[in-house]
Amino acid sequence: MIRCIVFALVTAVFGLSAPARAGTLATYADETPDKVMTIEVADNGDARISDGTDGDYGLMLGGHFYIVGSSGGALRVARIEDVAAAIDQVIPPVFRGLLSGARTAPARNFRAVRQGTRTVAGQTGTVYLVYGLNDQKPDEAQEIVLSSDPALRPIGAAMEQFMNAAIVPAAPLIGEGAADIIASTRAIFALGTPLDVGRFRLTSLADADVPPARLALPAKASTVDELVSEMRSMLPSGQ
């Protein structure tokens, strides 16, 4: 019951012109028809990522990933590691600093096997068969294509954290499984930047101007204490 309430809270909470800076715009097709993921990366590595959901996006700033969402007409902002830390204080710990850089091993059955190369949207990547992503089918493999090009690393960093941001709110429901998924995601992204991972496939990569306003926090980020207080206020009396 408590986990369901915390899940609902986190989901609800996050749901000036200036000279432009040169950068990169990456576009990925989503397996959902008519849905597109865009990643804008400035020349300093900061990035903005969105899957097209109105009012919701992520910002990678100075190595930290911020979730931006709207709730009740107001924009809400929080660092993903702070949301994870708050959840760990409200329910039995799941992440234990994982999103703050704590070392961890991927799922027990995780392994990636090279299968040659493939070109996706003009970018050459290594094809891997990845095992262990489905606990119920440890011998089932998923084919993915990853690029080792250093120039694409900021794109991969933003995408990895965006995927993590979709998993964190589910922790109250799936428990340790959330940390396992994030650990396996980390292992995949350590191999390279996704060009084709089944759900997302690169469709274009181009130079682009990224105005500073696109990378500015729209509101002050909530602290861990504020997030914990808000989550606990939603729990039944006495919990």
Place of tokens 């910002």: 59
With cut-offs at 50, 70 and 90, classify the pLDDT of residue 19: very low
d(CA 94, CA 168): 10
Domain 2-233 has CATH 2.40.50: no
* pLDDT value of position 20: 43
**pLDDT higher at 2 or 58:** 58
Q: Could you tell me the two tokens for 2?
A: 């408590």
State pTM to two decimals: 0.82
What are the extents of the domains in the chain? 2-233
d(CA 69, CA 73): 10
State which amino acid sits at residue 231: M
With cut-offs at 50, 70 and 90, classify the pLDDT of residue 25: very high
H or E element that contains 229: helix 224-233
Show Cβ contacts of residue 22 under 8 Å, excluding neighbours closer than 6 positions: 42, 43, 207, 208, 209, 210
**Do 145 and 127 touch, CB atoms closer than 8 A?**
yes
d(CA 139, CA 127): 18
With cut-offs at 50, 70 and 90, classify the pLDDT of residue 184: confident
* pLDDT value of position 191: 94
Tens digit of each residue's pLDDT (9 = 90 or more) over 52-74:
877 789 999 999 999 998 877 78
